[in-house]
Amino acid sequence: MNADLFGKLPGKVRYCKDLGDFSKILYAEIYTYNLVGETRIKNSDVADMYGKTKITVSRAISELKRSGMIRIEGQRDQREIRVIDYPIGNQIEIEQKPQGRKHEMSQALKNFLENV
């Protein structure tokens, strides 16, 4: 992940009393991954990035799912994680990645990323 990208933490996540601090940071990380079209996020990669254990990452993901902030499709290595119902930028929304095809960013998303 590009360390120069900003994570976004909307109020519904920031002030959610059901989420721990790391879960909130992880939401911003998932949001950023989704922003650039990535949905396959490995617990081990996140653990290495933040100096956490894979179990801590797994618990944070479960917390986010239980709170309705993310949705998970598939299992293990084929798992995809997406933020739920939150627009990216002004009017740009996360695009669904077609099964079996490489994700391509919309022109609106490319323009948004160029201006960040």
List the one residue out of 4, 22, 5 whose CA is nearest residue 13.
22
SS3 44: helix
Residue 18: both structure tokens together: 């059901």
Distances (CA, A) of 67 to 24, 48, 70, 107: 11, 25, 8, 32
Q: Which domains does the chain have, with CATH numbers?
A: 11-114 (1.10.10.10)
Q: Which residues in the chain land under pLDDT 50?
A: 88-102
Chain segment 47-75, per-residue pLDDT in tens: 999 999 999 999 999 999 999 999 999 88
pLDDT, position 110: 67
Q: From CA 96, how far away is CA 77, in angstroms rounded?
A: 18
